[in-house]
Amino acid sequence: MLIRALLTMLVLLFAFSLLYSASADHPSCVLCKQIIGAAYAHDVQNYVNDVTKFEKYWSEECTFLRMQIDPALGNYCFWLYRTNQAELMKEFFERIPAANICSNLKQC
C-alpha cells in the first residue's frame, strides 16, 4: 500500500515536472523573459511615472531588437508592449519578477 502511494506520487511529480518544463521552455515564454529581463536591466521602473518615457523606452528597445538582433524578436517585443501596456506599467511599478510578469501576461 505504501509502495503504491509512493509510486503514484512519483508518477504525478514526474508528470507535473514535464508540464512545467514544457511551458517554461515555450518560445513565447523565453522571448518574454528576455525582453522583460532587458527592461529590468535598463531600470525601466524609473519610467513608469512618465508614460512618454515608458513608451519611448519600449519603442527604442523593440526597434533595436528588430534592427540589430532579430526581426522576429523585435516584432514580438512591439506586440508584447502594445497588447499589455497598462499591465506592464503596473507590474514594473510594483517590481514584480520577470517570470511572474510573463506568467501574468499568459506568455508562460
**How sure is the predictor about 23, in pLDDT bands with cuts at 50, 70 and 90?**
low
* pLDDT for residue 21 is more than 80: no
Average of per-residue pLDDT across 9-38: 63
Q: How far is residue 23's CA from residue 28's CA, in Å, rounded to a whole number?
A: 9
In a domain, 88, yes or no: yes
Total domain count, the chain: 1
Q: How far is CA 94 from CA 32, 66, 80, in A?
A: 18, 28, 18
28 vs 48: CA distance, rounded Å: 24
- Taking only the tens place, the pLDDT of each residue in 74-86 is 999 999 999 999 9
CA atoms within a 13 Å half-sphere pointing along the CA-CB vector of 59: 6
Q: Which position has the grid cell 511551458?
A: 23
- Residues, the chain, total? 108
- Tell me the angle at which helices 71-93 and 27-41 cross, rounded to the nearest 10 degrees: 60
Structural domain that includes position 50: 26-104
Residue at 39 is within a domain: yes
pTM for this entry = 0.70
Read off the C-alpha cell for 36.
522583460
Per-residue pLDDT at 48 = 86
Structural domain contains residue 30? yes
Percentage of the chain modeled with pLDDT above 90: 59
